[in-house]
Structure 1
Amino acid sequence: MPIDMKLLSSEIKNQVLNSMISIIDRERNAVLDANKKDLQAFNREDQALYDRLVVNDAKINSMIQAIKEVQAQEDPVGKEISDVTLDSGLKITNKTAPFGTIMIIYESRPDVTIEAAVLAFKANNKILLKGGKEALNSNIVLEKCWHEALEENGLSKDWIKLLHLKREETQEFLKNPTEKLDLIVPRGGERLIKFVKDNATCAVLISGRGNNFLYVGKDADWEKTIKVIVNAKTDKISGCNALDKVLIDKNIPNYQDKVKELQAVLTNLKVELVVDEHIGKILPKENVITSQDIWYEEFLAMKLLIAEVDNATTAIDMINNYSGGHSAVILTEDIESAKVFMEQVDNAAVYHNASTRFTDGGQMGVGAELAISTDKLHHRGPLGLKQLVTNKYYVFGDGHVRV
């Protein structure tokens, strides 16, 4: 039986994870030393990518915690979805089942080598990891830890495998895979996602760009607004849940004063501002938009676009047109306005008076996540353990034939 079809007991899977917790802790210095090599070789011009590459003791502790959380979760495989007996006597049971083999392609972050693999493995999937060359040394050490944990428990190390492929080789593998592939999850920017979609021959689940919007309604509490914008923009610029665009309703009381206050707060935090022509009249020293392409851009930097809108309808239309489908926020004290906004904005996560930084598996109660899906098939939002299974129908008959 192929490795990716073998069903493992919950007990053996949790034993592997238990081994992995001990091994990573033991090999902590080896992981840190390998990561230092990656950091020394990296060009720091891309600060967001550099931030994702860094592994320290706190990051290793987070890896261990992610494994513990997944270990504690209920096995998602073989759970009954429905069970019916038809008038004909056929008994039909629908249960969760593994995908088979999942390939994840990602840039920079070595912690994905842990979080992606632990989720896929607990859901009984074989996982192929294609990390970026910038994290090669870190990923090699983490793969060795996985292989030790698997073999220590009598399992093949092929369950979790790091692919050492150059771009051209990856392209050929996607077009003509040398082994069965059931699902590919690309984690990265637009170029990576397009590369995978253009070349893959199996299902691709998009973990899309951020380009997250926040709309300040006319009934917004300004103190809350400042607090949420600052957190969403500056807490972690490399996160796909960071804020990129702010749309301010021109009907908010003391509109110009509030725009100037927001500028002062963000400038003090060293956030570069880009403004539309309307905001530019209030903030004449800021750079005005020169190309409409910027509306589609995910910044991953201390940079924020601020624009004026007439009302919530305009804001909703702009978000649905330009955003990456990830996260969007409305700041308002009007519950009905918030409800309309949240229902009509087509994003994976919509917020009322809260930061986009909460779009995260751990923050949303899902636990460790494979990615934030901006696709609608088969799941949108954090891809946790329960989302890494498909389903299978079991049909029981007694010589039944269709007439």
Structure 2
Amino acid sequence: MRGGKTMQNEGHAQIDNIKTMNHLLPIKKRDSVLSRMAELLEEERTNIKTINQQDIKNYSGDDLAMEKRLLVDDAKIDGMILSLQQLSSQNDPIGVERFNFDHANGLKIINKTAAFGTIMIIYESRPDVTVEAGGIAFKSGNKILLKGGKESLQSNLKIVELWHQALKENTISIEWVEYLNYNREETQTFLEKPTQKVDLIVPRGGEQLIAFVKKHAKCPVIISGRGNNFVYVNAEADLNQALSIIINGKTSNISVCNALDKVLIDTNLPNWEVFAKQIIAELQHKNVIVLGDQSISKIADVPQIESDLIWHEEFLDYKIVIGTTNSDQEAIDKINKYCGGHSASIITKNDAVAQNFMDNVDTAAVYQNASTRFTDGGQFGLGGELAISTDKLHQRGPIGLQHLVTNKWYVYGDGQIR
């Protein structure tokens, strides 16, 4: 790698049982590294928080969501440790049989899951990704190239130092987890002319980062897309549920892609104007800037949106747009036109209406009577996530351990020719 800017060369002399990165580590070895990494995070908890405060102090931007994602506190470290513990307890995702066929000529044909090889993760601000995404990639038998943002550099370097310690203590080459301390120009050069084989790239961050990676990458890219999630309040909604779900979706954590940005209210809802005013008052009480479409701005003292283009925006801020719709189909059409393909929720007591909505809304996750904040690998029982994909190939929604694999065909014969 270029200019000594990676952390790959340290300690190679002590490693004698792994000479190449071209083979799969035994599952016991992988699990042992994950378990040891969890222990090291606990042992180094205070140091990690202290180093992270350096990154916090050095951050000079005005992006509130990025600053919130940058912070590593006890809750974040607890989450990192839990994700590693869950990963180490899960079954090996490699070698799982997907298809078995006995050919008429005697060939036995089996399809099994296989590791990609080398996965590059490019992300902004979140040091916990260095643990969670790195752990998922490693458990699934892949080498990891971690490219974090400059705002979280010191935190990331400390965490990668712990990765390397866990690897070396298990007599495994530290090349399995590599940190790329590149600036933007160096990253672009690597994407266009990689100095080592890269099989898959996953960008986690804003739209500019994703566009940058898609433009320059020479290998497959899984898009961990934006949110811009919707809640639709149907005419048969439980209004107490609706209010609680909207407040939770918007205010529990503004810095995440599963946060709520848009609300649609069915005008067939009895006294919808009263309900709309109640939502607005509750949101404003929590310091959320509320914008409305023409119908909402007429009945409440909120600014009217200047353009329909705002329906496309993901805010990652204390900001929300509330609008009205005249039918379930109109709500479905509007969500499909403007949403980011991430999550959408319908609030209704009518299960048939909900099922129609969920079948026809084109998002990775659809909900009935629940907050979009649950679109998360841990919450979905995956034991963490590499990213949340808004692509449809090869996996949609949270990418967990069992999804970070490709496949391979095993064909057993006895001299058959065609």
Task: Establish whether TM, by shorter chain, passes 0.5.
Answer: yes
How far apart in 2 are the matches of 1:68 and 1:364?
Answer: 16
Residue type at the aligned position of 2:333:
D
Q: 2:334 aligns with which of 304, 308, 318?
A: 318
Residue type at the aligned position of 1:257:
V
Aligned twin of 1:377: 393
Residue type at the aligned position of 1:145:
L
Aligned twin of 2:280: 263
Q: 2:60 aligns with which of 40, 43, 52?
A: 43
Encode CA deviations 1:96-142: one digit per residue, 9 max, x unaligned. Answer: 10011000100000000000111111100000000000000000000
Residue type at the aligned position of 1:399:
G
Moved more, 26-35 or 307-316: 26-35
How far apart in 1 are the matches of 2:27 and 2:281?
Answer: 55
Aligned twin of 2:100: 83
Aligned positions of 1:43-192 closer than 5 A = 43=60, 45-192=62-209
How far apart in 2 are the matches of 1:120 and 1:294?
Answer: 36
Encode CA deviations 1:34-80: one digit per residue, 9 max, x unaligned. Answer: 10100001125211101100001221121111110000000111111
Aligned twin of 1:31: 48
Aligned positions of 1:197-276 closer than 5 A = 197-276=214-293
Stretches of 4+ aligned residues off by more than 2 angstroms: 1-5
What is the TM-score when the length of structure 1 is the normalising length? 0.98
Encode CA deviations 1:141-172: one digit per residue, 9 max, x unaligned. Answer: 00000001101111110100110111011111
How far apart in 1 are the matches of 2:409 and 2:221?
Answer: 23
1:3 CA drift (Å) = 4.2
1:260 CA drift (Å) = 1.1
Aligned twin of 2:363: 347
1:368 CA drift (Å) = 1.1
1:26 CA drift (Å) = 1.7
Encode CA deviations 1:216-236: one digit per residue, 9 max, x unaligned. Answer: 111111111101100111111
1:4–1:356 Cα change, 3 Å:
farther
What is the aligned length? 401
RMSD: 1.1
How far apart in 1 are the matches of 2:83 and 2:324?
Answer: 41
1:269 CA drift (Å) = 1.3
The answer to whether residue 303 in structure 2 is matched with residue 290 in structure 1 is no
How far apart in 1 are the matches of 2:186 and 2:37?
Answer: 30
Q: 2:412 aligns with which of 392, 396, 399?
A: 396
Moved more, 262-271 or 129-138: 262-271
How far apart in 1 are the matches of 2:364 and 2:307?
Answer: 27
How far apart in 1 are the matches of 2:23 and 2:179?
Answer: 20
What is the TM-score when the length of structure 2 is the normalising length? 0.94
Aligned twin of 2:12: none
Aligned twin of 2:6: none
Residue type at the aligned position of 2:154:
N
Segments of 5+ residues of structure 2 without an aligned counterpart are: 1-17
Aligned twin of 1:359: 375
1:39–1:342 Cα change, 3 Å:
same
How far apart in 1 are the matches of 2:79 and 2:31?
Answer: 18
SS of the residue aligned with 2:382? coil
Aligned twin of 1:338: 354
Identity score, percent: 53
How far apart in 1 are the matches of 2:237 and 2:39?
Answer: 49
SS of the residue aligned with 1:288? coil
Aligned twin of 1:309: 325
Aligned twin of 2:9: none
The answer to whether residue 412 in structure 2 is matched with residue 387 in structure 1 is no
Moved more, 299-308 or 257-266: 257-266
Encode CA deviations 1:356-376: one digit per residue, 9 max, x unaligned. Answer: 000011111111111111111
How far apart in 2 are the matches of 1:73 and 1:19?
Answer: 16
Aligned twin of 2:15: none
How far apart in 2 are the matches of 1:58 and 1:263?
Answer: 31
How far apart in 2 are the matches of 1:177 and 1:99?
Answer: 16
How far apart in 2 are the matches of 1:62 and 1:174?
Answer: 31
Segments of 5+ residues of structure 1 without an aligned counterpart are: none
